[in-house]
Chains A and B, each alone.
Chain A
Amino acid sequence: MAQESALYQAIVNGNDKQARAATEEALAAGVAPMDLIQQSMVPAMDEVGRLFEAQDYFVPELLLAARAMKGSLELIKPLLSASGQKMAIRVVIGTVKGDLHDIGKNIVASMLEGGGFEVIDLGTDVSPQSFVAAVEKRQPQIVCMSALLTVTMPAMKLVIDALKTAGLRTQVKVLIGGAPVTMQYAQEIGADAYCDNAGAAVGLVKSLLAKEAA
Chain B
Amino acid sequence: MPIGADLVLHEEPDPEQARNDGAALGRVIEKTARRWATPLAIPLMDLRLEKADLLACAGVPASDAEKYHFTSPLHECTIAALCAGQSATLCRGSIARDQALSYIASLPDLVPVGMAIGPFSLGSRLMPDPITAAAMAGSGVAPEDSDEVRLLWQCLRIAEAAVQRSVRSQIAHGARAIMICEPAACTAFLSPRQLKAGSRLFEQLVMEPNLRLKAVLDAAGCDLIFHDCGELIDLMVEAFANRLHPVILSLGGSRKLWEDARLVPSDVVLYGNLPTRSFYSDGAMPVDEVLRRTAELVANMKACGHPHILGSECDVLFVPEAREAILAKVDAMMAVAAQPILS
Contacts and interface: CB of A to CB of B under 8 A. Distances in A.
B280 A100 contact: no
What band does the interface of chain B fall in when counting residues whose beta carbon is under 8 Å from A?
20 to 34
B283 A103 contact: no
B284 A184 contact: yes
Contact of A151 (B67, B193, B318): B318
B132 A63 contact: yes
A57 B193 contact: yes
Contacts of B134: 60
B199 to A, nearest CB: 10
Contact of A180 (B129, B188, B190, B280): B280
B258 interface: no
Contacts of B20: none
B180 to A, nearest CB: 21
Nearest to B130: A103
A-B pairs with lowest CB-CB distance, top 5: A60-B135, A184-B283, A60-B191, A182-B284, A59-B188
Given A59-B187, A61-B135, A179 B129 contact: no
B187 to A, nearest CB: 5
Interface string A162-181: 00000000000000000110
Contact of B193 (A61, A103, A106): A61
Contacts of A67: 132
Contacts of B136: 64
27 contacts: A58-B187, A58-B192, A59-B187, A60-B131, A60-B138, A60-B188, A60-B189, A60-B194, A61-B135, A61-B193, A63-B131, A63-B132, A64-B136, A67-B132, A100-B66, A103-B188, A124-B67, A149-B317, A150-B280, A150-B319, A151-B317, A151-B318, A151-B319, A154-B320, A180-B277, A180-B278, A188-B283
A182 B278 contact: yes
Contacts of B129: 63, 106
Interface of B: 66-67, 129, 131-132, 134-136, 138-139, 187-194, 277-278, 280-281, 283-284, 317-322
Interface of A: 14, 56-61, 63-64, 67, 100, 103, 106, 124-125, 149-151, 153-154, 179-180, 182, 184-185, 188
Contacts of B194: 60
B318 to A, nearest CB: 7
A153 B129 CA distance: 23
A149 B188 CA distance: 17
A181 to B, nearest CB: 9
Contacts of A124: 67
A27 B320 CA distance: 55
Contacts of A57: 193
> Which of A56, A57, A58, A182 has the largest number of chain B CB atoms within 10 A?
A58
A152 B322 CA distance: 12
Nearest to B285: A182
Contacts of A184: 281, 283-284
A149 B45 CA distance: 13
Contacts of B277: 150, 179-180
A124 B189 CA distance: 19
Contacts of B193: 56-58, 60-61
A127 to B, nearest CB: 14
B278 A58 contact: no
Given A56-B193, A61-B193, A64-B132, 7 more contacts: A14-B135, A60-B190, A63-B131, A106-B129, A151-B319, A151-B320, A182-B281
B32 to A, nearest CB: 18
Contacts of A60: 131-132, 134-135, 138, 188-191, 193-194
A47 B138 CA distance: 21
A180 B281 CA distance: 9
A153 to B, nearest CB: 8
Contacts of B67: 100, 124-125
A58 B134 CA distance: 13
Nearest to A64: B135
A182 B284 CA distance: 7
